[in-house]
Amino acid sequence: MGKFTGDSKKLLEYVGGRENIAAVSHCVTRMRFVLNNPSKADTKAIESLPSAKGTFTQAGQFQVIIGNEVSTFYNDFAEVAGIEGVSKDAVKKAAMQNQTLLQRIMSSLAEIFAPLIPAIIVGGLILGFRNIIGEIALFDGGTKTLTQISVFWAGINSFLWLIGEAVFHFLPVCIVWSITKKMGTTQALGIVLGITLVSPQLLNAYSVATTAAAEIPKWNFGLFQVDMIGYQAQVLPAVLAGFTLVYLERFFRKICPAVISMIVVPFFSLLISVAVAHGILGPIGWKIGAVISDCVNAGLTSPFKGVFAGVFGFFYAPLVITGLHHMSNAIDLQLIADFGGTTLWPMIALSNIAQGSAVLAMILLQKNDAKAKEVSVPACISCYLGVTEPAMFGVNLKYGFPFICGMAGSAVGAVLSVVSGIKANAIGVGGIPGILSIQPRYMGIFAVAMGLVILIPFCLTYAIGRKKGVGSSREERTEDRAENVPEDRAEKREDARNQPVRELKAYVSGEVIPMERVPDQVFASGALGGGVAIKPEDGILRAPADGLVAVVMEESLHACGLVLDNGMELLLHIGLDTVEMKGDGFRAFVKPGDRVKAGDELIAFDRDKIGRAGHSDMVIMVLTNPGRAGDINWQTGRRVRAFADAVAVINGAV
């Protein structure tokens, strides 16, 4: 009988039995199911299991968070269920049965725009700052702006436009690059194609509306002419052009002999895609984008705009769960290009704040529950800064009613926003700093809307939580960590818990970021524990402190677990979804049971291969068990050198 046999039998029952499982696999922390009928899964019962830390559904997969002993759990489950596991690729393919065509399209769009979000956020913040110094008349009796009275700030305003223009005017370059990266084709060709869409030789897209048709420059080919129009800030023309390049390159690679493919494939792929982009798809994409933005703008300006806003504000948070919210990025950018501002983005910012306010009420309700606050406090902060997944998955959806209260507050704020005509100049951070993206004349009323989405969800959540008795007694898990130590390692772990650990060294060189900024909801929510992530500059994972190697992922080699000399247990995870690479580009220097010193090499990984496979190479360290450590101060927001700098300082180390 295995360690998790009992829980495995219950999990099999709770997911609807063997006949409801189309496929199952696991990664380093989660069991991944494709269920024939997802509605049969009893999530409440599953989350009550001592070994389960939570559940969620993503991309057609029902995932159960187990932690760093998931491989042991998986083996016991496979034996109990009598099901042979499959690869993660097979699971993803099988998961398509649970996705509609729209969901598959939205999933693809999400993967295209996700890498662009940091740049778009930076651009939005910069444009917002330029609003404040260059548009709001605060001086000389409200008649002059800061840039009008100061040469220095006028220079800053002009300089910052260099970045704002690069982000938004040249957005098609980023979009086409992202498409080629996602589809695994030549990214350099994508960049070149994107540049042809915004070339200075073309009439700027912003000047088309004010230029007479006869004055628009043209390429004259004798038999026909093509307008020389640029597609600055346009989304759909870039998307259509990018996919054209991808499928042309795939086609020519398939039919072209290998000896001449280096010349033939890029030449014909790029030449044809540029011609088609400017002659056919660019104008079509422009028109489709204009129609979409016109329809959305009509809904936001019609006599029924209050109803439209209320519905959107209420249901935006559930859209985040499905991933469909990424489509709003494209619509926002199109609205900005066509109408000089977007009414959609302010509602999104308000929805994020509303979910954070619900978490804030949960923090107050659970003020005596230190374990709950380990998740809720960072989740609230990240939500107010525009990242909602930790708040929603880690707190609000777990309890249910805070999520609904946040939706209700969001609906009220959205109605006020749209009825007041609030517009944003750009897409910025979607939380409280989002006010920087709002057009200056609307900042005051937007601040009022922000007040509503802070107050309403907070009061509703607190009142309902008090009625339900939340926080009246500390919620404890029935899982006893001590019982989960495998017998064959128990003696070694006990011997290891003799020396104090005062700090955790950088395990790779690079920029340290907070856990809540990791673009994976399980890590970001803190469901597995606190920690940090590093954007690596090298390809060697090192031990952050002295300890024992508890586990190394056998096939994929992308993660390992350590037990330190004070009983702390760490999970070190290289990249996101890198389990799909099946060990290609990874080499382990250690095995379970090995003793390591701080700075010892654990795993080598090829960052270029990870990038070409379409994955993030971010390296994550999760504290899955604090052991006897004191308070931990995570050192984030700076660049560190492997083994030379600390990423965590342990106060009261024992």
- Active-site residue list: 27
Task: Compute the residue count for the chain.
Answer: 654
∠ CA 141-341-317, nearest 5°, is 115
Give the separation between CA 468 and CA 197, rounded to whole angstroms: 57
Give the separation between CA 216 and CA 283, rounded to whole angstroms: 14
Give the separation between CA 207 and CA 232, rounded to whole angstroms: 10
Give the separation between CA 117 and CA 427, rounded to whole angstroms: 9
- Residue listed under structure tokens 């999760």: 622
41: left (phi over 0), alpha (psi -120 to 50) or beta: beta
Going by their DSSP bridges, the two strands 646-651 and 631-634 should be labelled as antiparallel
DSSP 8-state secondary structure symbol assigned to residue 75: H
Give the separation between CA 201 and CA 183, rounded to whole angstroms: 29
Non-local CB neighbours of 152 within 8 Å, separated by 6+ positions: none
Non-local CB neighbours of 280 within 8 Å, separated by 6+ positions: none
Give the separation between CA 551 and CA 79, rounded to whole angstroms: 21
Give the separation between CA 528 and CA 624, rounded to whole angstroms: 6
Element of type H or E holding 25: strand 21-26
Spatial CA neighbour of 454 closest among 355, 349, 381: 355
377 in helix, strand or coil?
helix
Listed in order, strand segments (DSSP E) in 233-274 are none
Listed in order, strand segments (DSSP E) in 105-162 are none
Give the separation between CA 180 and CA 534, rounded to whole angstroms: 25
Non-local CB neighbours of 186 within 8 Å, separated by 6+ positions: 180, 249, 266, 269
Going by their DSSP bridges, the two strands 569-574 and 559-564 should be labelled as antiparallel
Query: 563 and 543 in contact (C-beta within 8 Å)?
Result: no
- Buried/exposed 550-563: b ≥16 CB within 10 Å, e otherwise: bbbbeebbbbbbbb
CA distances from 229 to 117, 176, 402 (A): 26, 18, 49
Non-local CB neighbours of 139 within 8 Å, separated by 6+ positions: 145, 146, 148, 149
Element of type H or E holding 596: strand 595-596
142 in helix, strand or coil?
coil
263 in helix, strand or coil?
helix
Query: 470 and 366 in contact (C-beta within 8 Å)?
Result: yes
Give the separation between CA 462 and CA 533, rounded to whole angstroms: 33
592 in helix, strand or coil?
coil
Query: 59 and 321 in contact (C-beta within 8 Å)?
Result: no
Give the separation between CA 568 and CA 303, rounded to whole angstroms: 60
